[in-house]
Amino acid sequence: MSDAPEPRKTLDPDQVAFWLARHPDFFVGREGLLQQLKVPHPHIDGAVSLLERLVLDLRTRAESAESRLDHLLVTARHTDAQYRRLRDTLLALVEAPDRDALAQALATQMSERFATPAVALWCAPELSHQEAAPPQPPRQVLTHHAGARLAALLDGRTSRCAKLGLSDWKCLLPHAPVPQKPGSCAVTRLAAGEALGYMVLASPDPEQYRASMDTQFTEYLGDVVARLLVRLAPHE
């Protein structure tokens, strides 16, 4: 028989980890062993005691949790501010006595509360048939050309944020000063059982209404405006 020693068996790290997880009381009464254990430092060369490494890990987790909490607080404050601005805007809209006043109130609120200096309501011609006077800016009667440009901007969607070139700015916001460079806009269809036109919110800042932005706010505001346009129909 051979006297050669048997090959030394090496414990599998995963098995060791599994066993320790199943026996959390292993180190009870073996505190000296804990003090002898050394693990790599996460940021510098060398090793530290297991207890030091645990302190480092706990500090890192605490800093990460604090960062997430700060982000949540900032988001909550932003959401609360948005809600208050939207609430004040809607209250101003529902108090408008007629359609022109509604359009003007929308323009004022968007400028003062949302830094959006240019607004247009392109209303279907049918909405103006019973009115004694033509619409006043920022309310406009929808033309074929403007409708085609708005449909192109929407690209088959109900609402959309997009870049707004100077030619489109002149076409869709004829009452507003033309900026020196292309801006951005949010466009939504106005409908309340039937197509009523379009709402355009525009800014000379090309980043204010980015294509990647959610349009839930624009759609909600458009729904309210559409219903008010119907409610404020002139009496016969």
Does residue 224 sit in the same domain as residue 197? yes
Does residue 170 sit in the same domain as residue 218? yes
Does residue 212 sit in the same domain as residue 129? yes
For residues 94-121, give the mean pLDDT: 97
Does residue 77 sit in the same domain as residue 148? no
Does residue 73 sit in the same domain as residue 101? no
What's the domain range around 192?
Answer: 97-231
Contacts of 199 (CB under 8 A, 6+ apart): 106, 119, 120, 121, 122, 187, 188, 190, 218, 221, 222, 225
Residue 141 within any structural domain of the chain:
yes
For residues 206-210, give the mean pLDDT: 95
Does residue 107 sit in the same domain as residue 194? yes
Of 121, 137, 119, the residue nearest 225 (C-alpha): 121
Q: Is the pLDDT of residue 23 over 90?
A: no
Does residue 130 sit in the same domain as residue 198? yes
- Residue 202 and residue 162 in contact, taking contact as beta carbons nearer than 8 Å: no
pTM to 2 decimals?
A: 0.71
Q: What is the structure's pLDDT at 72?
A: 84
Does residue 102 sit in the same domain as residue 201? yes
